[in-house]
Amino acid sequence: MNIASRAKTSKVAARPLGLALANKGNLELTFIGAGSAFSKKYFQNNLLIVKGQTHVLVDCGSRAPEALSLLGLRVSQIDRFLITHTHADHIGGLEEVMLTNRFVAHRKPRIILTGKLQKILWDQSLRGGASWNEVVDGQPLGFGDFWDPERPRRVKDADREYSVWSEGDLEIGLFRTKHIPDSSAGWEDSFPSYGLLIDQRVLFTSDTRFDRDLVVSMDAAHSLETIFHDCQFYKGGVHASLEELTRLPAKIKAKTWLMHYGDAMEDKRQAIKEAGFAGFAEEWATYSF
């Protein structure tokens, strides 16, 4: 894996950075942001996947349109979105995406999500800001007026709820995580949230509480090359704490990059190095495989 960083000082550059939406066919992952939900120093943990002519923006938080703009992209240039769950740091930018696409760019982006998540996303999050902007044949707009949904195919007999989406030679597996509420025992009784297995080589947890079995079993099944795991610097809460993650086997920690971090990240660099992690995923850096 190669890492190409973009200087953070570029954030204030007059000319935005160009971030390409296509490449020669290798897998490239760029963190549009890598901060926690309420971070003020880092953008939110949203990831751009590019492989050949295909690109997917994984989550689009409330600050994602700003981050994309600084990287030289408009939200209407993104062809395809994938939503892992309905917290605002993952979906808060979607109203801008919907309204800009429908009323300015006059196009309908694709969105990868399960039927279960689509219903939650529309009925409980997006409808209020989107539906009544236009009435067609006496009806306010619906999800399908803004989006072209793509359903991942469910894999039967998987250890946990698992479905797969693919296009060309990019494959993304979606597995359930145990994120909220903090009282849930496992993924089964958690509100729907998904992590990703990208090309069977990279694990991207999105948001989950510590789930040793998930990481260890995914690594055993796929000999993972790299893991991007969410973290928090305190105990309790709805993400894996640094203390819990430190208990993972050394060989797993060595390929694990921590993401979705709080503003105290710089103060923790030495500690995570000593604990044996690969490092912090850096926002705006492109990880190439």
Between 34 and 170, name the residue whose CB sits nearer to Zn ion.
Answer: 34
H or E stretch including 100? helix 94-100
Sketch the per residue contact string, 249 through 288, with Zn ion: x for CB under 5 A, - otherwise.
----------------------------------------
User: In this chain, which of 27, 43, 47, 89 binds Zn ion, going by CB under 5 A?
Assistant: 89
As measured in angstroms, the least distance from the Cβ of 245 to Zn ion is: 16
Between 86 and 101, name the residue whose CB sits nearer to Zn ion.
Answer: 86
**Contact call for residues 222 and 252 (beta carbons, < 8 A):** no
Distance CA 163, CA 152 (A): 5
Strands in 46-51's sheet, in edge-to-edge order, are 2-4, 286-288, 28-33, 46-51, 54-58, 80-82, 110-112, 148-150
- AA identity, residue 168: G
Between 56 and 170, name the residue whose CB sits nearer to Zn ion.
Answer: 56
As measured in angstroms, the least distance from the Cβ of 231 to Zn ion is: 11
Q: What is the dihedral of CA 49, 162, 155, 201, to 10 degrees?
A: 40
What is the phi/psi pair of residue 113, to 5°? -165, 155
Between 170 and 231, name the residue whose CB sits nearer to Zn ion.
Answer: 231
User: In this chain, which of 51, 87, 178, 209 binds Zn ion, going by CB under 5 A?
Assistant: 87
Instruction: Tell me if 59 contacts Zn ion by CB under 5 A.
Output: no
Local structure of residue 65 (DSSP, 8 states): H
Residues in 25-54 at the binding interface with Zn ion, rule: CB under 5 A: 37
Stretch that binds Zn ion, among 89-97, 119-127, 149-157, 165-173 (CB under 5 A): 89-97
- AA identity, residue 197: L
As measured in angstroms, the least distance from the Cβ of 178 to Zn ion is: 11
Contact residues toward Zn ion (CB under 5 A) are 37, 87, 89, 207
